[in-house]
Amino acid sequence: MLPLLQLVPAKLLNSSCSLKKTLQCSCSFHGIPTPSVQWWMGGVPVGVDGMDGSLQVTSTVLGPWANSTISLTEEPEMGMRLLCEGKNQNRTHALSILLMSRKSSLASQAFVKGLIQGAIYAGVVIALLFLCLLPLIVKHIRKKQAKKAAAIRAKNSSKVRASQELAMSLKPEEPGKPIVTTFSESHILEKQDKRAS
């Protein structure tokens, strides 16, 4: 009697892509029964173990393992999808790879370069604008500080004047000494003298 084999669903265990002269992508599947591997390029199946113009597919099977490699000798179209599919009677497992053209990387490099240049130019314009506005900003700040300082001086001088007037009015008169008064007191005294006459 033959031992019963336990069925194992197909499972992608390893995948890789490398770019040298050609783009090579590999997929390794495991399962019982051994999975079959199919490559799809842009939704169209690619022939197994053969060459199709710019594509070459090589597959090997060893026990429950199925390995397959696809080589692309020509540049793929922008946004082309490559699909590696492994399946047995229990399961289908797949890996989708989005292919980008080398030319598209040049376009993205140009975009990034333009973006960086734009940011640098914007920084220079902002710096120049700031330098042009700096004298106006400084003038405005100095005006505010001068107003504050004038208000503080006026407040302090009115307090000093008021305290001087208060001190003078509280001094007792000494005979034979001239009386020193502030303008406001002398003005009041003159008015009183005129009334008395």
Q: What is the percent of the chain with per-residue pLDDT over 70, rounded to a whole number?
A: 71
**Are 92 and 110 in the same domain?**
no
| Per-residue confidence band for 35, with pLDDT thresholds at 50, 70 and 90 | very high
- Mean pLDDT, range 3-32, rounded to an integer: 85
Give the range with max mean pLDDT: 17-21, 103-107, 193-197. Answer: 17-21
What distance in Å separates the CA atoms of residue 176 and residue 65, rounded to the nearest whole number?
Answer: 129
**Are 111 and 49 in the same domain?**
no
Number of folded domains in the chain? 2
Confirm whether 127 is domain-assigned: yes
**pLDDT tens-digit profile of 144-184?**
999 999 888 888 887 777 776 666 665 555 555 555 555 55
Residue 100, beta-bridge partner list: none
* pLDDT given for residue 17 in this prediction: 86
Confirm whether 129 is domain-assigned: yes
Of residues 67 and 101, which shows the higher confidence score? 67
**Are 131 and 82 in the same domain?**
no
**Are 123 and 72 in the same domain?**
no
- Three-class secondary structure of residue 196 per DSSP: helix
**Are 82 and 114 in the same domain?**
no
* pLDDT given for residue 167 in this prediction: 64
Where a domain ends, among 29, 63, 97? Answer: 97
**Are 11 and 93 in the same domain?**
yes
On the question of pLDDT at 141 being above 90, the answer is yes
Q: What is the percent of the chain with per-residue pLDDT over 90, rounded to a whole number?
A: 18
- Mean pLDDT, range 104-109, rounded to an integer: 59
Choice among 7-16, 51-60, 67-76, 179-188 with the minimum mean pLDDT: 179-188
Within 13 Å of residue 38, how many CA atoms lie on the same side as its CB?
11
* pLDDT given for residue 65 in this prediction: 92
Confirm whether 67 is domain-assigned: yes
Of residues 15 and 160, which shows the higher confidence score? 15
Q: Domain range for residue 145?
A: 103-154
> Do the Cβ atoms of 85 and 66 come closer than 8 Å?
no
**Are 39 and 117 in the same domain?**
no
Confirm whether 174 is domain-assigned: no
What distance in Å separates the CA atoms of residue 18 and residue 16, rounded to the nearest whole number?
Answer: 7
Confirm whether 55 is domain-assigned: yes
CATH number of the structural domain spanning residue 59 = 2.60.40.10
Confirm whether 40 is domain-assigned: yes
- pTM value is 0.48
> Do the Cβ atoms of 152 and 136 come closer than 8 Å?
no
- Mean pLDDT, range 46-67, rounded to an integer: 78
